[in-house]
């Protein structure tokens, strides 16, 4: 029985990822989850008490996986510069991934404090990794530099998500160049 519940919970989370990546947080409704999974709407409530609970669980499940992929890419890099490049490239390479798209949709959403805290904690882990690399590069304010660097990454993510005129590869290269060389181009 417990295994069946775990499977259904997994199916609901997967449906939630699809809905978020297709239509953002507005698309994530209990009727839509019920329709996608073939469960009765009342059954959806047995697993999750609210939309916020679905979002919170997705954050708890997907964010660490996504952060671990960025961390692994950084660990494979040798120099601080290569670590910064890996940090930018890996985040942008995940843009097409449904889990990542769901996380991006969630990040822009009206979240309850619990979900926001989970996202902050996961982001905090990513930021901590890059702060160290930026410190090694000689930044006086590595934490501030890390926040600004993440802003560049977030802007590039949005640009790719929007299907901007530029090729995603071009956006990635521009973001890497800006991360490594600032605005010198």
Query: 12-23 burial by CB neighbour count: b if 16+ within 10 A, else e?
Result: bbbbbbbbbbee
What's the average model confidence in pLDDT over 174-185?
A: 87
pLDDT interval class at 108 (50, 70, 90): low
CB contact at 8 A, 34 and 43: yes
* % of the chain residues with pLDDT over 70: 91
pLDDT value, residue 89: 95
For residue 122, pLDDT over 90 is answered with no
Report which secondary-structure segment, H or E, holds 109: none
Q: What is the pTM of this model?
A: 0.77
What is the per-residue pLDDT across 12-61, written as a single tens digit (0 to 9) for each? 999 999 898 888 778 899 999 999 999 999 999 999 998 888 888 887 88
What's the average model confidence in pLDDT over 80-109?
A: 81
């Amino acid at each position: 029985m417990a295994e069946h519940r775990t499977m259904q919970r997994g199916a609901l989370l997967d449906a939630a990822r699809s809905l978020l990546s297709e239509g953002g947080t507005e698309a994530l409704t209990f009727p839509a989850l019920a329709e996608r999974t073939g469960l009765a709407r009342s059954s959806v409530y047995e697993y999750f008490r609210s939309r916020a609970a679905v979002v919170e669980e997705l954050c708890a499940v997907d964010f660490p996986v996504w952060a671990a992929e960025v961390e692994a890419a950084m660990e494979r890099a040798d120099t601080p510069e290569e670590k910064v490049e890996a940090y930018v490239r890996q985040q942008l390479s995940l843009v097409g991934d449904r889990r990542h798209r769901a996380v991006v949709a969630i990040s822009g959403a009206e979240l309850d404090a619990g979900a926001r805290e989970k996202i902050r904690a996961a982001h905090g882990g990513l930021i901590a990794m890059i702060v160290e690399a930026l410190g090694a590069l000689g930044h006086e304010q590595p934490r501030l530099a890390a926040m600004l660097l993440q802003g560049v990454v977030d802007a590039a993510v949005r640009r790719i998500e929007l299907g901007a005129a530029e090729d995603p590869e071009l956006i990635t290269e521009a973001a890497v160049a800006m991360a490594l060389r600032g605005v010198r181009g």
